[in-house]
Amino acid sequence: MAFTFATSIFAQKKADDIAKFNTETYDFGKIKQGVPATATFVVTNIGKEPLLIEAANPTCGCTISDYTKTAIAPGQTGTIHATFNAAAVSPIHKTLTVKFAGADDIKMINLAGEVLDPAAYDTWAANNKKDVKTEVKTETKVKDDKVKTETKTEATTTKVTKKNKKSGKKVEKTVVKS
């Protein structure tokens, strides 16, 4: 009994117990060499205390990150933005390590996709118009208990509004331009 009491006092918090990501891997798909691409990860505080992101560090110099620097209240969300420079033609398999205050472990989030040289990308894009992610602008705004994401391409605009998990509501609207 004393052992159980002692271990419960010194129980370690795990990142998965206090934070949940909307996705742990962001797939850019095919991107053109020399055109930086940005991924936005939304993190929700699923704990009972304010959540603070201490660091979101890329594991290579080809990616830079920025993240919510203020405490995230329970049930609320913050963001981590990761911008990949796309300088070299290659598959994308990049990792960011995320450290939360009060958690004894780190969380890994990932970037995936493939960088194609401009000629190969243009050929691929001409043959795969529905899969092209170029000129995609995604903006994520977090306010109160809502996450608003707007994604724009030349042909469509998709707006997604998600409320927190307590309300369970999700609204999505797509406008197709002609």
Domain ranges in the chain? Answer: 13-133
Report how far residue 57's alpha carbon sits from residue 106's, in angstroms, rounded to the nearest whole number: 11
Report how far residue 151's alpha carbon sits from residue 26's, in angstroms, rounded to the nearest whole number: 15
How much is the pLDDT for 76? 96
How much is the pLDDT for 148? 63
Give the mean model confidence (pLDDT) for residues 23-33.
96
How much is the pLDDT for 129? 78
Report how far residue 99's alpha carbon sits from residue 52's, in angstroms, rounded to the nearest whole number: 9
Report how far residue 85's alpha carbon sits from residue 63's, in angstroms, rounded to the nearest whole number: 6
Among residues 168, 162, 173, 171, the alpha carbon closest in space to that of 22 is found at: 162
Give the mean model confidence (pLDDT) for residues 56-78.
95
97-111, 117-131, 136-150, 163-177: the lowest-pLDDT one = 163-177
Query: Residue written as tokens 């050929």?
Result: 123
Q: Tell me: the pLDDT tens digits for 140-157?
A: 666 655 666 565 555 445
51-55, 84-88, 113-117, 166-170: the lowest-pLDDT one = 166-170
Residue 22 gets which letter from DSSP? S
Q: Which residues contact 11 (CB under 8 A, 6 or more apart)?
A: none
Whole-model pTM: value is: 0.69
Report how far residue 69's alpha carbon sits from residue 15's, in angstroms, rounded to the nearest whole number: 17
Q: Which CATH superfamily is domain 13-133 in?
A: Immunoglobulins (2.60.40.10)
pLDDT at residue 87 greater than cutoff 70:
yes
pLDDT at residue 90 greater than cutoff 60:
yes
Report how far residue 65's alpha carbon sits from residue 54's, in angstroms, rounded to the nearest whole number: 12
pLDDT at residue 27 greater than cutoff 60:
yes
pLDDT at residue 111 greater than cutoff 60:
yes
pLDDT at residue 132 greater than cutoff 50:
yes
| One-letter amino acid for residue 30 of the chain | K
Residue 63 gets which letter from DSSP? E
pLDDT at residue 74 greater than cutoff 60:
yes
Report how far residue 19's alpha carbon sits from residue 69's, in angstroms, rounded to the nearest whole number: 15
How much is the pLDDT for 105? 95
